[in-house]
Amino acid sequence: MIQRKLLSIALTCSLGFAAQIHYVTAEEIRIPVGEQAKDQVLVDMPTKGMSKERVKALFGAPLEEIPAKGQPPISRWKYQEFTVYFDNNTVIHCVRNFHPKVNPAE
């Protein structure tokens, strides 16, 4: 008698939990690194080690100069297509700026 009640309770609980299960699926999109920016136009950018004077001579005055912060002092120059990071007077990194694609269909 006790075994039947325990079995009945266990079965009821397991059916209750089974009814609560929700299945979630997601689509995984994989784009190889070499394919991610193939539709972008190549942009000439400053290289590591250039001086501020050399960058200004080759690319002109930046749209915005962000003053140095931190230790070592890191400053940034923003251009239309890229941002240049300087440690004192030397380029340490340069990255392309994000420009969202405008979809005329929307």
What structural domains and CATH numbers belong to the chain? 2-96 (3.30.1450)
Work out the average pLDDT over 98-105: 71
Give the neighbor-by-neighbor strand order of the sheet with 64-69. 64-69, 74-78, 82-87, 90-96
Pick the range with the lowest mean pLDDT from 3-12, 39-48, 65-74.
3-12
| Average per-residue pLDDT for the chain | 82
Choice among 2-6, 40-44, 73-77, 98-102 with the minimum mean pLDDT: 2-6
Task: Give 88 or 17, the one with higher predicted confidence.
Answer: 88
- Predicted TM-score (pTM) of the model is 0.61
Nearest Cα to Cα of residue 84 among 51, 57, 106, 41: 51
On the question of a cis peptide bond just before residue 72, with omega within 30 degrees of 0, the verdict is yes
- Give how far the C-alpha of residue 74 lies from the chain's centroid of Cα atoms, to the nearest Å: 21
The residues pairing with 95 across neighbouring beta strands, listed in sequence order, are: 83
Residue 1 binned pLDDT confidence (cut-offs 50, 70, 90)? low
pLDDT over 60 at 98, yes or no:
yes
Token pair for residue 99? 């420009």
Type and span of the H or E element at 12: helix 2-19
Q: Which residues pair with 78 in a beta bridge?
A: 64, 83
